[in-house]
Amino acid sequence: MSQPGGRAASAPLMGREIEPTIFELSSPGRSAYQLRTTGVEALDLTSVVPGEYVREEPVRLPEVSERDLVGHVTRLSHRQFSVDLGFYPLGSCTMKYNPKIADWVTGLEGLNSVHPGVPSELCQGWLELMVDLEERLCAVTGMAAATLQPAAGAAGELTGLLLMRAYHESRHDQRRRVLIPDSAHGTNPASVTLGGYEVTTIPSGPDGLVDVAALKAALGDDVAGIMLTNPNTAGLFEENIVEIAEAVHGVGGLLYYDGANLNAILGVVRPGDMGFDIVHMNLHKTFATPHGGGGPGAGPVAVAEHLAPFLPGPQPAREGDHFVWRSPEHSIGRVHGWHGNALVLARALAYIEVHGGDGLRRVAERAVLNARYLQARLADTLPAAYEGPCMHECVLTAKGLKDETGVRGLDVAKALLEHGFHAPTVYFPLIVEEALMFEPTETESRETIDALVDALRSIAEQSVRDPDGVRAAPRSTPVRRLDEARAARQLVATEDAAHR
C-alpha cells in the first residue's frame, strides 16, 4: 500500500536499487513514538521562550513511523563498506581490522563513566592507565617522555612543532625554516605554517628517497628542524636516516618523526635510535581504533630527554604508590581541553598489552610481508613506482596502463569497487604519476590478497578490450560513477551528476 504524500511502505523497498530519503518516506501526522499522557499541563511556547526566539514556521522534520525509520536506517547501514566487512587497502591510512577486545575494554563502566574533571584521588585507575601507556609508547619509540593530550595526528604534528619552537626559543635561538620532503603527508606543511615556520621542500631522488645532497645544501643556522616519515610515503625505508640526522643536528636543528607509518617498524627499529627528537603517533591507526569517518583519534607526542620539560601539561605521574597530575617545568600549556580522547588511549593500551613486545614485532613483520607479496604478484600488471623492496605499503603506477589503453589509476580504483574491494589511495604521493597506493596491513590473509590480485588483473585485461567499460565503473554500487570535479563542488548529488 502507499503512504499519503510519501513513497511505498517499507516492505516493497527491499528489492529497490534506490533507497528513498527520509523525507520521501515522511507522511504528515505520523510519528515514531507517542506518549499516552504526561500529566503536565501544556504551555504556550512564548510563555517560556522570549518571542524573538520563536520561529514563525516549525522546523521541517520528517514524520515517519518507528518501523519505517528503523528499516530505512538498517538498509542504509547495509550499503556501507567497513573494515569489518572487507579488505580496505587504503594506502597510508592503515585501515586494518581492529580486535574486538578493544571494544570490550572501552565498554567497561569503570572507564567510560568517569568524568574528566574528577579529582585525581577518585580516578587513580585512569591515571595509572595513562602512565602505563606513556611508558609503553616511549619504549616503542625510544623516547624519554610523552604527552597523551593531542586528539589526532595533525594535532600531534602541531604540538611537536610548538615543542620545537619552545626549545629553540629557550636557547634564544631564532630559527624560521623547517625542511619537508616533497613526498610528505599534506598535513606536514600545514602544521609547519601553523607553528609559525616557513617550509623548505626537499626533493626526492630517483630512488624515491630523500635527496641527501639537496638536503645538505638547504641546511643553515636558520633551520629549526626536519619533518620526516620513515618509512616514507612511497613505502620505502630512508636508508640514509643516520646521515640525515647527523646533518640536521649538525646545524642545531631537531628531527621530527611523523608516526603515520609506525605500523611498519613496531618492535623492529625505534625512531629514537634513528636520531629523532620528536615523535607523534596515530594511535587510531597503529593501535586498535577504527580509522576514518571523522571519529575520535589520538596523536600522542613523545620526545627525547632535552625536550621533556616543554611537554604540555598537566601530565599523569607516579608519586610513590599513587598517581597525581604534574606540569613540566617549561610546559607549553594545554593542547586539549581535558586529557585527550581517553577511551582511544584505553583501546591502545589494551592492544599493546594483548600483543606484547614480540606480538608488536610480528605486526610489523607481517604488514611488510603482505605488502611485498602484493607488490611482487602485481609486478607484471601494475609495476612498482620505485625499484627495491617496499615496507608496509606499496606504491604502484598505472602510467603504463594509461599510455596503452587510456585507463587511468582513478578508473582502476573505481572499477575495483565492483569486485567487492575498497579502492586504494590514488594520486599520492604526488611525486608518482598515476599512483596507486596499497596497504594490505598485517590483518589480511594470503587468500584475500590473492583475490585482490585477481581483481586487478581482471580490470587490466578489461582495460585492453573494453576501456570505456572500465571508465564507466562503478555501476553496481549504490552510488554510480560521478563527475569527480562537479561532485566536489556540488555536495548534494543529483541525478544528472552521474555519468550514464
Stretch (H or E) spanning 352: helix 342-377
Please, which residues have CB within 8 angstroms of residue 235's CB and are 6 or more apart in sequence? 91, 371, 390, 391, 392, 393, 394, 395, 437
Cell 611488510 sits at which residue?
368
Are residue 55 and residue 106 in the same domain, yes or no? no
Are residue 172 and residue 250 in the same domain, yes or no? yes
CATH code of the domain containing 338: 3.40.640.10
Is 472 within the bounds of a domain? Answer: yes
Strands (E), 427-471: 435-438
CB 472, CB 481: distance < 8 Å: yes
Are residue 337 and residue 414 in the same domain, yes or no? no
Distance CA 140, CA 266 (A): 7
Is 91 within the bounds of a domain? Answer: no
Angle at 26 between CA 20 and CA 32, to 5 degrees: 115
Instruction: Quote the pLDDT of residue 33.
Output: 81
Single residue among 356, 371, 389 that ends a domain in this structure: 356
Is 85 within the bounds of a domain? Answer: no
Is 120 within the bounds of a domain? Answer: yes
Is 308 within the bounds of a domain? Answer: yes
CB 323, CB 124: distance < 8 Å: yes
Are residue 371 and residue 451 in the same domain, yes or no? yes
Distance CA 161, CA 183 (A): 19
For residue 72, what are the domain limits? 1-79
Instruction: Quote the pLDDT of residue 464.
Output: 97
Is 203 within the bounds of a domain? Answer: yes
Are residue 325 and residue 377 in the same domain, yes or no? no
Distance CA 102, CA 155 (A): 23
Distance CA 305, CA 157 (A): 19
Instruction: Quote the pLDDT of residue 350.
Output: 95
Residuewise pLDDT in 10s, the chain (500 residues)? 333 344 444 444 444 467 889 999 999 999 888 777 778 888 888 889 998 899 888 889 999 999 999 999 999 888 888 888 889 999 988 988 888 998 899 899 999 999 999 999 999 999 999 999 999 999 999 999 999 999 989 999 999 999 999 999 999 999 999 999 999 988 999 999 999 999 999 999 999 999 999 999 999 999 999 999 999 999 999 999 999 999 999 999 999 999 999 999 999 999 999 999 999 999 988 998 876 555 788 999 999 999 999 999 999 999 999 999 999 999 999 999 888 899 999 999 999 999 999 999 999 999 999 999 999 999 999 999 999 899 999 999 999 999 999 999 999 999 999 999 999 999 999 999 999 999 999 999 999 999 999 999 999 999 999 999 999 999 988 778 888 888 788 877 655 544 43
Are residue 341 and residue 377 in the same domain, yes or no? no
DSSP class of residue 305? G
Single residue among 356, 378, 394 that ends a domain in this structure: 356
Are residue 311 and residue 389 in the same domain, yes or no? no
Please, which residues have CB within 8 angstroms of residue 69's CB and are 6 or more apart in sequence? 22, 32
Q: Kindly report the length of the chain.
A: 500
DSSP 41-92: ----GGGTS-GGGS-SS--------HHHHHHHHHHHHTT---TTTS---BTT
- What is the number of domains present in the chain? 3
Are residue 246 and residue 337 in the same domain, yes or no? yes
Are residue 339 and residue 213 in the same domain, yes or no? yes
Instruction: Quote the pLDDT of residue 294.
Output: 59
CB 134, CB 145: distance < 8 Å: yes
Single residue among 311, 337, 356 that ends a domain in this structure: 356
Instruction: Quote the pLDDT of residue 485.
Output: 83
Instruction: Quote the pLDDT of residue 292.
Output: 58
Are residue 239 and residue 130 in the same domain, yes or no? yes
Are residue 44 and residue 15 in the same domain, yes or no? yes
Half-sphere exposure of 88 (CA within 13 A, CB side): 19
Are residue 31 and residue 154 in the same domain, yes or no? no
Is 96 within the bounds of a domain? Answer: no
Is 90 within the bounds of a domain? Answer: no
CATH code of the domain containing 391: 3.90.1150.10
| 3-state SS, residue 236 | coil
